[in-house]
Every structure is written in structure tokens, then in C-alpha cells.
């Protein structure tokens, strides 16, 4: 098992994971796993190039920070993905944090979440970060346990609005 930079080598596995995420029907998620599968199928290299450019800060939309994406791969299968933001905007400081991660639905509750965050912390340290903010919804008990298992120290919870769960904020010293 390892973290790798995005690559066309994992296209089929990525598209399989995408199908799993889309079956969850999480209407409020605003991430790549809700993108149109046929678009990705036909433009996968373009998508990979975009992720790699984000790491160096190339062509970022206004208000975005450089962020490095890694995929957790085991036996050539995409298990999950992690995004490490190199710095924080005001919004990321309040709700998003430095690190966001996902494990594909069929691989959850098998220890992969703890591993992906463990590996991501090493990558964050290599980027020069000394302390990272990791957040999760208060209703996401699995993620709360993952963050705490990786040394997360609870700071507080913040509101995301009336109809959304509060966001738990944890700091991890690297």
C-alpha cells in the first residue's frame, strides 16, 4: 500500500471508485467524485494534469491555495485519495483544514482511513508544514476516530449553518 501522485495508470480503478461514490448519492458533496464519469473517461489525462498543476499552484482559481493530491493504491487498486493544502485561507482555517481524505465505499471500515491520514501527515511534513488542521463533520464518527488515532488534538467545533452538522477541528503537530 502506498500513496502515489495521480496517474493515468489508475484510470479504470479511479472510474470504478467514482461509480461507488456516486451510488452514495451525497447531494451536499462538492468534490471530484461527483463529476460526470463520461467526462472523466474521455478526459482523464487532462484531469490528472490539472491535479498535478494544483500542487505547484499553476492556474489556480482566485482564492485557492496550492494543494497536492495523492491516491492510496494497493495492488494497483485505488483505495482512496487525500488532498494536502499547502496553506490555509480564512475558510480553510475555519472549516476545510490542511488535509481532506476519502476512502471508496467498498474499502471503508478496514483501516485504510487511518493509514491514508498517517501517510498524508508524512507528506505534509515533507512539504514543510509543522502543524496541520484536520476537520470532520461531527456526525462522521469514523473520521473523528481516524483523526484522533493519528494524534489529532480537538480544538473546537464550528457551525456550518442551520441544516449542516457542526465541523470538528483538530490540530496535529508533525
Express each pLDDT in 56-99 by its tens digit.
Answer: 999 898 999 999 999 999 999 999 999 999 999 999 999 999 99
Whole-angstrom distance, CA of residue 80 vs CA of residue 110: 12
Give tens-digit pLDDT for 111-132. 999 999 999 999 999 999 999 9
How long is the chain?
174
Report the pLDDT value the prediction gives residue 7, as an integer from 0 to 100. 97
Helix (H, G, I), strand (E, B) or coil at 154: strand
For 117, the domain range is 2-173
What is the rounded average pLDDT for all residues in the chain? 91
- Contact between residue 135 and residue 165 where contact means Cβ atoms under 8 Å apart: no
Report the pLDDT value the prediction gives residue 116, as an integer from 0 to 100. 98
- Contact between residue 73 and residue 2 where contact means Cβ atoms under 8 Å apart: yes
Report the pLDDT value the prediction gives residue 30, as an integer from 0 to 100. 45
- Contact between residue 131 and residue 144 where contact means Cβ atoms under 8 Å apart: no
Report the pLDDT value the prediction gives residue 162, as an integer from 0 to 100. 87
What is the number of structural domains in the chain? 1
CATH number for 156: 3.40.630.30
Amino acid at each position: 500500500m502506498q500513496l502515489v501522485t495521480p496517474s493515468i495508470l489508475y484510470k479504470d480503478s479511479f472510474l470504478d471508485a467514482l461509480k461507488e461514490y456516486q451510488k452514495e448519492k451525497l447531494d451536499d458533496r462538492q468534490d471530484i467524485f461527483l463529476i460526470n464519469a463520461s467526462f472523466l473517461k474521455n478526459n482523464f489525462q487532462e484531469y490528472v494534469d490539472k491535479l498535478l498543476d494544483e500542487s505547484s499552484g499553476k492556474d489556480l482559481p482566485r482564492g485557492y491555495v496550492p494543494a497536492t493530491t495523492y491516491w492510496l493504491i494497493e495492488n494497483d487498486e485505488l483505495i482512496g485519495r487525500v488532498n494536502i493544502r499547502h496553506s490555509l485561507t480564512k475558510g480553510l482555517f475555519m472549516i476545510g483544514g490542511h488535509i481532506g481524505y476519502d476512502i471508496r465505499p467498498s474499502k471503508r471500515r478496514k483501516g485504510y482511513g487511518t493509514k491514508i491520514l498517517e501517510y498524508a501527515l508524512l507528506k505534509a511534513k515533507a512539504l514543510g508544514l509543522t502543524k496541520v488542521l484536520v476537520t470532520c463533520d461531527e456526525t462522521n464518527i469514523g473520521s473523528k476516530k481516524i483523526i484522533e488515532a493519528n494524534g489529532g488534538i480537538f480544538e473546537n467545533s464550528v457551525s456550518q449553518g442551520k441544516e449542516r452538522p457542526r465541523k470538528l477541528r483538530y490540530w496535529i503537530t508533525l
